[in-house]
Amino acid sequence: MLPVRNPRTGEYDYEIPVTSADDINSITADLRAAQMQWSTLGAEGRAEVLNRFADSMTTEMGPLAQALSADTGRTTFAQFEAMKSVELIRMWAERAGPILQDLAGSGQSGQVPAVHYQHRLIPYPVVAVISPWNVPLLLAMIDSLAALAAGCAVLLKPSEVTPRFVAPLQRALDAVPELAAVLHIVTGGPDTGKAMIEEVDAVCFTGSVKTGRQVSQQAAACFIPAFLELGGKDPAVILPDADVPLAARAIIRSAIGMTGQACQSLERVYCHESISETVTEELLRQLSELSLTCSEDGAGDIAPLIFERQVNIIQAQVDDALAKGATCLLGGEPVRAGGVWYPPTLLTNVNHTMLIMQEETFGPVIPVVAFSDADEAVALANDSKFGLSAAVFSTDSRAAIAVAERLQVGAISINDASLTGIVNDVEKNSFRFSGMGGSRMGPAGLIRFVRKRALLIQTDEPARVQLFSDTALSNTP
């Protein structure tokens, strides 16, 4: 059994079994057998089953939100996460059919018009979904639901750091036996994840770059596709004509709102030198109004850190910045009250030699750097191994879009931040070390789970072997 820590109390008050490689082997065999019927059910049949799952998830909404709250130390967001998951189920139930229908075309070859074709869509039989701790339910569901809607069976392993939600999720699943046959949830840590990759036909992984590299290498050796959604170091660029209070509000929501524990959290702020003081003052003013949830009644804005060891990473980056000359205007040290809270932290006088500007922090820290022109802003924003998303602020939307088009990231929010956290139906890719393997959002999020089989029908006489016979060498031109 693996002990599980409660992020609010700091106590280990829960445990989960570790699923063995042998169990993974037999579970995958069962999923593989059940998937055939699931696939032949068709998109409409699957939609009906998925909608019943949405109903049973709605029945379990209270316990789901409670378990998520114990997993993450967040209350209001836990409710939002449970609700958003139900919304996602209904979205795929509605949209999968039309998307798959559009994809499975038939027609005539342009090159060889006598050849007619029909496409069949063949889902990967079993897809592994391996998910992280920061948004436990939603990140477990986002790939699983699309894969299921496409006709795959799914073997899901949520993070061992936040597994309490699995029990109510399993209850909701048990109420829909047709789905329970093709969605199997296992618990465990890295070894369980590795065993899964050995058995399945495709893997979706959300997590750190370090683990993502191991997953992609193992998947390559198994000759299966790996869809990776990894870390980020998202920049915000504030142009001189930006609405400063609006920019500060959006940046703070993105950088601090989830205690910085979101892949698409803004972690670097570049603002034009003409407004850098105003921006810093506004950030400081708005940040000073926030409170931690460490009081008795649990009310407040900033939840505890979910993963205890994350505090060491955050503090090492802040200390490195301070040692290299940064100024800390707010925060900068954890608060321990059973769990560990990290207060909103604002740093100035930072530069790119500091870890805080290079490595993913995954904590509520805002470092601010001034730039002199758009070229410098773009160069600074692009000076990163990551390429997840970004934000640009300007009252001139053309100027904002001109900067956005030069950023080496997969999604850019304009005059807001982290919009990919709430917009799941617009395609976007992760650039650089932030991911690999097709958009998980929008129609592509579904399409990546099916392969096309082409039936090529000859309507003319087949060519004779002599078509490419050689004539005597002396006769060739």
Min CB(185)–ligand NAD separation in Å: 12
* 231 sits near ligand NAD (criterion: CB under 6 A): yes
Among 207, 235, 257, 437, binds ligand NAD (CB under 6 A): 207
Q: Do 149 and 50 contact (CB within 8 A), yes or no?
A: yes
Asked if 180 and 209 touch (Cβ cutoff 8 Å), the reply is no
Q: What is the residue-wise DSSP string for 349-418?
A: S--TTSGGGTS---SSEEEEEEESSHHHHHHHHH-SSEESEEEEE-SSHHHHHHHHTTS-SSEEEESSS-
| Amino acid identity, position 438 | G
Rule CB under 6 A: say whether 81 interacts with ligand NAD: no
Residue 438 is a binding residue for ligand NAD (CB under 6 A): no
Among 168, 232, 331, 332, binds ligand NAD (CB under 6 A): 232
Among 31, 138, 139, 166, binds ligand NAD (CB under 6 A): 139
Our measurement of the distance from residue 388's CA atom to the centroid of its chain's CA atoms, rounded to an integer in Å, reads 10
Residue 131 or 254 having the CB closest to ligand NAD: 131
Give the C-alpha separation, 225 to 204, whole Å: 9
Least Cβ distance, residue 427 to ligand NAD (angstroms): 14
Binding region for ligand NAD (CB under 6 A) out of 16-24, 130-138, 146-154, 370-378: 130-138
Which residue, 55 or 427, has its beta carbon nearer to ligand NAD? Answer: 427
Return the number of the residue (305 or 377) whose C-beta is nearest ligand NAD: 305
Residue of 181, 205, 449, 227 whose CA lies nearest to 196: 205
In this chain, which stretch among 60-68, 173-181, 189-197, 345-353 interacts with ligand NAD, using CB under 6 A?
Answer: 189-197
Q: Please choose, out of 32-40, 51-59, 128-136, 447-455, the segment that lies near ligand NAD by the rule CB under 6 A.
A: 128-136
Window 317 to 376, contacts with ligand NAD (CB under 6 A): 360, 362
Residues noted as catalytic: 229, 263
Q: How far is the CB of 331 from ligand NAD (least distance, A)?
A: 21
Does position 193 interact with ligand NAD (CB under 6 A)? The reply is: yes
Sole binder of ligand NAD in the list 116, 194, 249, 406 (CB under 6 A)? 194
**Comparison of 163 and 443: residue with beta carbon closer to ligand NAD:** 163
Query: Of 100-108, 145-153, 228-236, 399-407, which part binds ligand NAD (CB under 6 A)?
Result: 228-236
- Binding to ligand NAD, residues 401-430 (CB under 6 A): 430
Q: Compute the Cα dihedral for 209, 155, 139, 131 and give only its sign.
A: negative
Task: Choose the stretch contacting ligand NAD; rule: CB under 6 A; options: 24-32, 117-125, 205-213, 468-476.
Answer: 205-213
Ranges of beta strands (E only) in 9-102 are 12-16
Q: Smallest distance, Å, CB 343 to ligand NAD?
A: 21
Interacting residue with ligand NAD among 20, 51, 66, 211 (CB under 6 A):
211
Q: How far is the CB of 171 from ligand NAD (least distance, A)?
A: 21
Q: Which of 60, 71, 229, 359 binds ligand NAD (CB under 6 A)?
A: 229
Q: Is residue 133 involved in binding ligand NAD (CB under 6 A)?
A: yes
State the Cα–Cα distance between residues 149 and 97, nearest whole angstrom.
8
435 lies in the binding site for ligand NAD (CB under 6 A)? yes
Distance of closest approach, residue 156 Cβ to ligand NAD, in angstroms: 10
Stretch that binds ligand NAD, among 31-39, 72-80, 223-231, 294-302 (CB under 6 A): 223-231
Torsion of CA 195, 436, 417, 358, to 10 degrees: 90
| Alpha-carbon gap, residue 424 to 416, rounded angstroms | 16
Question: Which residues are CB-contacts of 261 (< 8 A; sequence separation ≥ 6)?
Answer: 134, 305, 306, 310, 362, 363
What is d(CA 356, CA 65) in angstroms, rounded to the nearest whole number?
33
10 Å CB burial of residue 474 (0-12, 13-18, 19+) is exposed
Residue 315 parent element (H or E):
helix 310-323
Q: What token pair was written down for 165? A: 């939600």
3-class secondary-structure state, position 6: coil
Quote the CA–CA distance of 91 and 419 in Å, as a whole number.
18
Tokens of 403: 């900067």
| Cβ nearer to ligand NAD, comparing 341 with 362 | 362
Query: Which has the closest alpha carbon to 268: 346, 343, 332?
Result: 346
Residue with the closest Cβ to ligand NAD? 193
Token pair for 195: 């065993």
- Smallest distance, Å, CB 130 to ligand NAD? 5
Nearer CB in complex with ligand NAD: 84/157:
157
Backbone φ, ψ for residue 304 (5° rounding):
-70, 165
Who contacts 237 (Cβ-Cβ below 8 Å, separation ≥6)? 270, 271, 371, 377, 378, 381, 390, 391, 392, 393, 403, 407
Is residue 7 within the footprint of ligand NAD (CB under 6 A)? Answer: no
**What is the binding site for ligand NAD (CB under 6 A)?**
130-134, 139, 157, 159-160, 189-190, 193-194, 206-208, 211, 214-215, 229-232, 263, 360, 362, 388, 430, 434-435
